[in-house]
Amino acid sequence: MEPYELTVAEAAEAVRTRRVSPVDLVDSALARIARVEPRLKAFTTVTADRARDAARRAETAIARGAHRGPLHGMPVGLKDLIDVAGMATTASSRVRSGHRAEADSTVAARLASAGAALVGKTHTHEFAYGLTTPQTANAWDPDRVAGGSSGGSAVAVASGAAAFALGTDTGGSIRVPAALNGVVGLKPTYGLVPRHGVTSLAWSLDHVGPLTRTVEDAGLVLAALVGHDPRDPASVAAPPADHRPGRGTDPTDLTGLRVGVPGNYYFDRVDPEVEAAVRRAIGRLEELGARLVDVEIPMTRYIRAAHWGLMVPEATAYHERTLRAVPDLYEADIRVLLEAGELMTAGDYLRAQRARTLMGRAWRDMLEAVDLIAAPTVPLTAVESGRTEVTWGDGSVESVADAYVRLSAPANLTGVPALSLPVGLDSAGLPIGMQLMGRPFGEAAVLRAGHALERTGTARGLAPDRAA
């Protein structure tokens, strides 16, 4: 096994016991980048010298007994919305071509403190405003979309170019590419991970979270990110929690866990192979001791309108000056969305806020009866690059972007934690993702259930080597 193939947990133990050095890990990741990057294009920039320097420092520190924990020496990719002092934060846009960050974002600083080695910045759909990341190819099939907007981060992890990566999620932008590339993506509770120094899409919906190869790794990374930061107005001082799953005597025992199975919305207009795989995984949860409970998702008719009613005007407000100063530097699809936001009224925005408030209350009531909701992450697997529409079995037609965001947006509107993990492959050999959603600050339950599934063999590892 090559060092780049190790999970964070495996690599951390190998580093701790001196069987593998951080230099080995980083060199292996950089070699992997050189091999797959020409076709996958996951990175906006590769920071080889910086990564090697960090690896050497980690190796020296660990040798003298100053081991900082499981992320010490781990190769990491950061979505190119996340500031690192002295580096460009381009948001994969010509608008930001001359930008340089003056200081680290909170999450970058916390990863640096944990000893992680930055191997590069990863591509996003321009300013995170899309669900495909068109610059980047899918790690499982380079002729298909990577998903977005954190497509570069998902592909970097799935291809072995980084042990883990960070992304952002405003309507599914961590979970969608995680599902399409067969990796794990966690959108934490709103406010749990600070966003200071992270370029915003829509501030009342934005989240920062990890993309990893396993649920166990997601818990390890999350533990390094949480903590109140007064520079982020939404940041909360959450009660202390152990986000590492599988700490009990039997990590596959889910006795007492109540899992809600939606009778509406989440299985509407879903590819039959996706539905079958997710229902099999739900059945596996029951076999592990969980109790399945039928639930009705509330206020579904308002989900799309409320999500767009918040995201579109907030994004336009963020870009107001540059949209007037350099409109031609935006890609056409993003410019249209930003201009559309100027047509929305204050009344529209306030109605969306009211709907979101009512929806949040209704979800909290629903989650009184269950600990988790289990559902598909996205209704279909990765489509061919350039494809814009999906035709469902009932004859209805939906845009690819609307299809991908439809099942992930509710967790952004309500702010609840949501984990996507792989639960199988379709007949074309493409990954299928399942989503586990919990109560606010209920990451422990979400990770516990996902880890139990992972331990019983439903999760996948690295993507097949098809990109070289």
Would you name the residues annotated as active-site residues?
79, 149, 173
- For the four alpha carbons of 158, 92, 51 and 186, in that order, the dihedral sign comes to negative
Contacts of 255 (CB under 8 A, 6+ apart): 289, 290
Nearest to 463 by CA among 26, 146, 172, 27: 146
Beta bridge partners of 374: 436
The C-alpha atoms of residue 54 and residue 74 are separated, in whole angstroms, by 9
Q: How many other C-beta atoms are found inside a 10 Å radius of the C-beta of residue 98? A: 8
Beta bridge partners of 399: 389
C-alpha dihedral, 158 to 160 to 162 to 163, nearest 10°:
90
The C-alpha atoms of residue 360 and residue 57 are separated, in whole angstroms, by 46
The C-alpha atoms of residue 434 and residue 279 are separated, in whole angstroms, by 9
For 101, the token pair is: 């960050």
Nearest to 408 by CA among 179, 211, 214: 179
Q: How many other C-beta atoms are found inside a 10 Å radius of the C-beta of residue 464? A: 14
The C-alpha atoms of residue 122 and residue 141 are separated, in whole angstroms, by 18
The C-alpha atoms of residue 349 and residue 372 are separated, in whole angstroms, by 30
DSSP code string of 27-77: HHHHHHHHHHHHHH--EEEE-HHHHHHHHHHHHHHHHTT----TTTT-EEE
Burial call 382-412: b when 16+ CB within 10 Å, e when fewer? bbeeeeeebeeeeeeebebbebbbbbbbbbb
CA angle 407, 463, 376 (to 5 degrees): 15
Q: How far from 261 is each of 58, 265, 332, CA to CA, in Å? A: 45, 11, 40
Nearest to 458 by CA among 289, 275, 282, 286: 282
Beta bridge partners of 212: 184
The C-alpha atoms of residue 71 and residue 224 are separated, in whole angstroms, by 8
The C-alpha atoms of residue 325 and residue 300 are separated, in whole angstroms, by 39
Residue 104 dihedral angles phi and psi, to the nearest 5°: -70, 145
For 71, the token pair is: 């992320």
The C-alpha atoms of residue 32 and residue 160 are separated, in whole angstroms, by 7
For 447, the token pair is: 């990770």
